[in-house]
Chains A and B, each alone.
Chain A
Amino acid sequence: MSTIAQAGRKATDPLRPEPATVVEVIPETPNIKTLRVAFDDPAVTEAFRFLPGQIGQLSVPGAGESTFAISSAPSRTGVFEFSVVDAGALTSAIHELADGDPVAVRAPLGCAFPTDEWKGRNVVLVAGGIGMAPLRSLLFHLLDNRADYGTLTLIYGARTPDDLCFESDRADWRHRTDLDFTATIDMACSIWDGCVGLVPTVLEERAPSPENSIAVTCGPPIMIRYALESLAKLGFREEQVYTTLERRMKCGIGLCGRCNLGPKYVCTDGPVFSLAELNGLPDEM
């Protein structure tokens, strides 16, 4: 999405992170925590801007650095959030952090969702598991600028009720009249009286209209694949569909070489891509 004006990061040394502090750790699920983070330097906080869909590099110096979507609202930059799955050596170290612990951050990086181009249109968000993290930032942005958009639909699924993140946000989203929100889990269980079904299935049941609409999906690769099929069945064309990708990254600035999809780098040309763009790239997911 390189055509969109970005909240870029013009730093003297783009590989050097800024010291920051964890101000709160929110346990989301058995293996996901949200870290609320603030920069130590007030001047850095002052200059910090990001757009929905942009990513950041979160470091625990000594353990390493990795890339995560910024999951909080772009309108609130004093404290911002990363939602992290405990999956490897670094993310284990991140999960051991407590309030007040030091970290370091390079952000924002990458390209955002082209939300300015979507003004006046309906937006359908389709998220699975941790894929809700970047879409949460996007949803906050759409809600913060609610009058600019048509109907908003969110379908968010996880394997079990315990695997759904952002509990207090979900309580708010359920009660909003300006958001059509469906939470779903993969299989029925005794503690859940809501929607049951895989995200693509629920998407087809809810059947949002493609007319004057944009659909955005993020989740596990298998879910994205079937969600894209469902969107096509519903009549969404490839220019109407967006996703945000994950790849192993190191530098985050298009130099270190590993996150490319053909000639495009997920870190700088993405992570947000339209399906039309993706269909023009080599299939190496």
Chain B
Amino acid sequence: MRFIAREKTQELLESLSAEAQVWAPRELNGSGGTVMFERWSPGDPIAFEGFSTLSAKDMVLPRTEKLFGFRYTAGTGNMLAEALEQGAGLPAQGKNEHLDIESPGPAEKKVLFGARACDAKALDVLDSLFNRDDGSAYEDPGYRARRAGLTVITLACTSCDDACFCSSFENGAAEKAGSDLIFYPVETGFLVEAVTARGEQILSGGEGTVATERLFEESGLQPPALAETARVEGIAELESLLPAIFADLEFWERSTAQCISCGFCTYSCPTCHCFNIHDEMRGDREGERLRSWDACMFHIYTQEASGHNPRPTAAHRYRNRINHKFSYFPENQGQILCTGCGRCIRGCPAGLDIREVMAAALARARERGSGEGLAGEAPGAGSA
């Protein structure tokens, strides 16, 4: 394997920053140790051992994105309307203006350094929905442009905390999907593995890239043992088992009683991708249509103009979130919409642990399957 000395990573990122924005985990000033993926500039320290409180999904799905600008301009833009007005003598009641819609600029190239395997895998999961190249009518050009311009350099985990649960999934901390290059920490630096052609270019040089290959050397060091996290057994079974307990609302109410519908879980999640679309005016004549992160845990998310809400309580909404992640999305996209990063567990202000809900749902569904009746312990009972 190739090797890069720890101090040379600064030089590597400096080279890469010549043609792309570089983002890396950094300790926020005065935050008492909070780490976030932040824009990196040469000389900025990198939190190699830190774990970002929020995920890296805004590399491909910005918190707020301008879809397009629009402007109302004097004069009708519609020949048919004009003809109707002239020919049929229709009264010109309208504002006599038309609409111009402009496109957003191209996406910036970005390098994400220091993603964890769970962050990179989350990009691979999101790709299955947003980066379809199957000729389907519904592709997302904004996502695709950002994804195409993104290079992901992953820092492999040799340690974890008690909220991590990536070992519940097939490849655990050794997951490579979504990464271009993987850095395995060893004593004085990192062993480096290229996963994609883009990663190989950085490692070995290639046409049209800044020269970075000189920073790497050959090494006989052995890759480190990777972290083994807590496991939720049977995650893949949820896809087929969850429908059996959908109608058991009492179970969902008991299991998720602590939920205060704050939306932190969705905000911090690397795979949650629900969005809102809304307009903002800049003065009277022009404005922007924006796409922003939304949260399925919010009451208003599904609230209809009539006042009707198909998911009126936190239990309805949590039930949908669990079903979406572990049943609907796997059914539709062939991937589980969770990578075990544990952010929703670390950050939940009510102490709700998605692993306990999953375990309880599995137990409940298996009970149902084996016809043992409805008795069962809900998770979190007594810990609210």
Q: Write the residues of chain A forming the contact surface with B, with a CB cutoff of 8 angstroms.
A: 8-24, 38-40, 42, 45, 59, 61-65, 78-79, 87-88, 91, 97-104, 221, 246-248, 250-251, 253-258, 260, 262-263, 268, 282-285
Contacts and interface: CB of A to CB of B under 8 A. Distances in A.
Contacts of A64: 277-279
Contacts of B138: 14, 253-255, 268
Interface of B: 67-68, 70, 72, 76-81, 84-85, 90-101, 103, 129-130, 137-142, 243, 246-247, 273-279, 281, 287, 289, 291, 294, 296, 301-306, 308, 310-311, 316, 320, 323-324, 327-328, 331-332
B279 A62 contact: yes
A255 B100 contact: no
Contact of A19 (B91, B100, B281, B289): B100
Contacts of A42: 79
Given A10-B137, A16-B103, A101-B95, A21 B304 contact: no
B147 to A, nearest CB: 14
A16 B275 contact: no
A248 B303 contact: yes
Contact of A63 (B279, B303, B324, B332): B279
B328 A260 contact: yes
21 contacts: A21-B77, A21-B98, A23-B80, A59-B289, A61-B99, A62-B279, A65-B277, A78-B80, A91-B305, A99-B91, A100-B94, A100-B96, A104-B70, A247-B304, A255-B130, A255-B140, A258-B274, A258-B301, A260-B324, A260-B328, A262-B246
B279 A61 contact: yes
Contact of A102 (B67, B90, B98): B98
Contact of B302 (A9, A248, A255): A248
A45 B77 CA distance: 14
Most B CB within 10 A of own CB, among A62, A63, A99, A250 = A62
Classify the secondary structure of B's interface with A. Answer: mixed
A285 B94 contact: no
B276 A16 contact: no
B274 to A, nearest CB: 3
A213 B98 CA distance: 46
Given A9-B137, A268-B138, A247 B277 contact: no
A100 B247 contact: no
A8 B77 contact: no
Contacts of B311: 284
The 8 closest A-B pairs by CB, nearest first: A100-B94, A257-B274, A21-B78, A88-B305, A253-B138, A263-B328, A87-B305, A98-B93
A42 B82 CA distance: 13
Nearest to B303: A248
Contact of A250 (B139, B277, B304, B327): B277
Contacts of B91: 99
B81 A100 contact: yes
Contacts of B275: 250-251, 255-257
B28 to A, nearest CB: 30
B94 A98 contact: yes
Nearest to A19: B99
B331 A263 contact: yes
Nearest to B70: A61
B80 A79 contact: yes
A258 B294 CA distance: 10
A248 B275 CA distance: 13
Contacts of A8: 137
Nearest to B277: A250
A61 B287 contact: yes
Given A102-B95, A268-B138, 14 more contacts: A9-B137, A14-B137, A14-B139, A17-B101, A40-B78, A101-B97, A102-B97, A104-B70, A247-B302, A248-B303, A250-B276, A253-B137, A255-B138, A258-B274
A87 to B, nearest CB: 4
A13 B141 contact: yes
A51 to B, nearest CB: 14
B279 A263 contact: no
Contacts of A253: 137-138
Nearest to A89: B305
Contacts of B84: 23-24, 99
A99 B273 contact: no
A246 B305 CA distance: 11
Contacts of A87: 305-306
Given A14-B139, A62-B281, A23 B81 contact: yes
A16 to B, nearest CB: 6
A21 B80 contact: yes
Nearest to A13: B141
Contact of B98 (A19, A246, A256, A284): A19
A254 B137 CA distance: 11
Contact of B77 (A24, A40, A59, A79): A40
B308 A99 contact: no
A251 B287 CA distance: 19
Contacts of A260: 320, 324, 328
Given A102-B97, A104-B99, A260-B328, A12 B141 contact: yes
Nearest to A92: B305
B80 A38 contact: yes
Nearest to A39: B78
Contact of B90 (A20, A99, A283): A99
Contacts of B99: 19, 40, 61, 102-104
A258 B279 contact: no
Most A CB within 10 A of own CB, among B98, B130, B303 = B98
Contacts of A11: 137
